[in-house]
């Protein structure tokens, strides 16, 4: 997993509330166990017509937001089923941070395991950020994980709270497997000692 330190990117507005995981990645695309290749189907039913053509009014289809790395979203983002394909699809598309007033718990935790920084801010702050996204490709926000701040394109700064362990994992690029492998020497030492003390096991 890539380390997340500081992100400067285009922010796209998604003011809808209760964007659930089936909207993020519809169930028809859950057959794969690969993390790659799902970005093209991110928000599939909102992005495409039935004939497969793009809906020009959908935010991520607009030229100024096609390279967005940040989403500023409505309340309760990621609700619904617990599918980890949702953060997989966001990551594969290029989204590295989602900002909202609240997230569904399972989705929120899955984000950290996949290198996405979900940021919770008060409604007043999200309103300012949402307004800033209207500038399109000029709305390059700065998300600084170390400082725990989001800075608008005009330089207005908002501080966000974050669990220290989750912050550590993102800064170091550690998912669950990475956390285990960080203890590889201790695990090997334990296994060697156990084999000597209990050779019958």
Domains in the chain with CATH codes: 6-197 (3.20.19.10)
Q: What proportions of the chain, in percent to the nearest 5, are helix, strand and coil?
A: 40, 20, 40
pLDDT, the chain, mean: 91
More confident residue, 182 or 18: 18
Model pLDDT for residues 173-200, shown as the tens digit of each residue: 987 655 555 555 666 666 666 667 777 7
Model pLDDT for residues 26-76, shown as the tens digit of each residue: 998 887 777 778 999 999 999 999 999 999 999 999 999 999 999 999 999
Asked if 58 contacts 43 with a C-beta cutoff of 8 angstroms, the reply is yes
Helix and strand totals (H; E) in the chain: 8, 7
| Predicted local confidence at residue 164, as pLDDT | 96
| Predicted local confidence at residue 65, as pLDDT | 96
> Residue 175, Cβ neighbours under 10 Å: how many?
15
| Predicted local confidence at residue 201, as pLDDT | 66
| Predicted local confidence at residue 139, as pLDDT | 78
Of the pLDDT bands very low, low, confident and very high (cuts 50, 70, 90), residue 125 is very high
More confident residue, 29 or 123: 123
Does residue 96 have a pLDDT over 80? yes
In order of 69, 70, 99, 125, 180, the CA distances from 64 in angstroms are 12, 13, 19, 23, 40
3-state secondary structure of 51: coil
């Amino acid at each position: 997993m890539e380390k997340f330190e500081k992100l400067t990117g285009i922010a796209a507005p998604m003011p809808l509330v209760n964007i659930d995981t089936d909207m993020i990645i519809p169930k028809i695309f859950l057959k794969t166990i690969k993390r790659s290749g799902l970005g093209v189907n991110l928000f599939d039913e909102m992005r495409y017509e039935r004939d497969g053509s793009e809906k020009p009014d959908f935010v991520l289809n607009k030229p100024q937001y096609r390279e967005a790395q940040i989403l500023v979203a409505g309340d309760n983002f990621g609700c619904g089923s617990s599918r980890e394909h949702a953060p997989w699809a966001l990551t594969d598309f290029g989204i590295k941070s989602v900002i909202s007033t609240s997230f569904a718990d399972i989705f929120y935790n899955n984000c950290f395991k996949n290198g996405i920084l979900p940021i919770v801010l008060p409604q007043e702050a999200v309103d300012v950020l949402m307004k800033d996204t209207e500038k399109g490709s000029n709305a390059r926000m700065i998300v600084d994980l170390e400082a725990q701040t989001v800075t608008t394109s005009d330089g207005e700064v908002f501080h966000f709270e974050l669990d220290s362990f989750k912050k550590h994992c993102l800064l170091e690029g550690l998912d669950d497997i990475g956390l285990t492998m960080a203890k590889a020497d201790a695990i090997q030492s334990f296994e060697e000692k156990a084999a000597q003390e209990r050779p019958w096991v």
